[in-house]
Every structure is written in structure tokens, then in C-alpha cells.
Amino acid sequence: MPADTPPAVCPERLTGLPPRVSERTVVLVLGSFPSVASLAAQQYYAHPQNHFWKILQAIWPEHACPADGYEQRIAWLLARGLGLWDVYASCEREGSLDSRIRHAEVNDFASLKARCPRLQAIAHNGGESFKHAPLVVRSLSAAGPPQGAQPLPVYKLPSTSPANASWSFARKLAAWREVFAAHGLTG
């Protein structure tokens, strides 16, 4: 390396957000890892251009999403049977793109089993999260499903990220609504 070339800088290790689940969680939405905006705000889907909260409001139009107050929005989605977390507990990443994630550590999904006794399905918010679908299901089924129970259904949903510009809002909404309807979360 020439003397005037600065050494490569390793990005700092980032830590994700805790799970937002309850005993009422029926569908668990898993993202990959929070964006820079979400980490700064310590809130899931904090980027103003992300479609996540707009999609939920469109699915549940009869129940207004609280405009102010993150904790009120979390209580709102938990009351409707939805839970949130990410696949990665920590990683190195510059910026917010999933393609920049390096040295990721996967969350401990087995720890959710007792906290979500009504869990019926896992919905991955985008392709990076979906890469870990088999691991997530194995972790949640570590003790084995009750006799005669089917394994948890797993869905790959279109990412709500503004980086997913190839899908229109209407197309994203239709895909998300279909999964929610399959598990009784639309009305």
C-alpha cells in the first residue's frame, strides 16, 4: 500500500432493536436490520419514505394509526396481532442498504417461543431477511411443534424500504394484505 493511502476503516459494529412482540402476536414481521434513520431514532421503520406504517394503515383503515408517538404505534400494531423484529442482532454496515451488511450475527429466535404462544406465521420484509427463513423456523421449532401441528408458514413479502422502488405502493399493499388476511389480521 502506498504511503499516502489511508488504511481501510472498518465500520463500527451496530446493534439492532429489541423485539416488539406480545402474547397476542399472530404474525411476526422480520426485517433484515434497521436503517440508519431507524437506529438513530431507536424506532422500527423510522425513515419517512418507508412504506411500512402506511401499509399497516391501509390494511387497518378503520383503526387510525397514532400519528404521534412511537410507543402508541407499537401498541396499535401489537393489539392487532402483529409483532416486529429483525433477522440480524448486530452487523457492520455503512449506510442503510442490505447489500452493505457484513459480519452479521443472527438474533436468538428461540427466545421468542414462550413470549408468542399464538404465533402462526413469519413474514419476511424483503429478500435479505428471507434468506434466513429456514434458520428462523428451526429456531422457533427447536422444542418441536405440538403433536399434529404444522410448521409455521413463512412468507417473503416485498420490502417496504424506499430502496425497493420497483414495486409500487399498491403492489406492496396487495401482497402484505394477502398474508395478513390469511391469518385473520385484516378485520
Whether 125 is catalytic: no
Please report, for residues 3, 120, 124, 153, the alpha-carbon distance to residue 113 in angstroms, rounded to integers and kept in the order given. 54, 11, 17, 15
Residue by residue, DSSP assigns 174-186 as HHHHHHHHHTT--
Structural contact between residues 136 and 122, judged by C-beta atoms closer than 8 angstroms: yes
Catalytic site residue from 50, 107, 125, 164: 50
Structural contact between residues 150 and 87, judged by C-beta atoms closer than 8 angstroms: no
What is the rounded end-to-end Cα distance, in angstroms, of the chain?
62
Residue by residue, DSSP assigns 118-184 as T--EEEEESHHHHTTHHHHHHHHTTT-PPTTPPPPPEEEEPP-STT-TTS-HHHHHHHHHHHHHHTT
CB atoms within 10 A of CB 18: 12
CB atoms within 10 A of CB 56: 23
What letter represents residue 181's amino acid? A
Residues marked as catalytic = 50
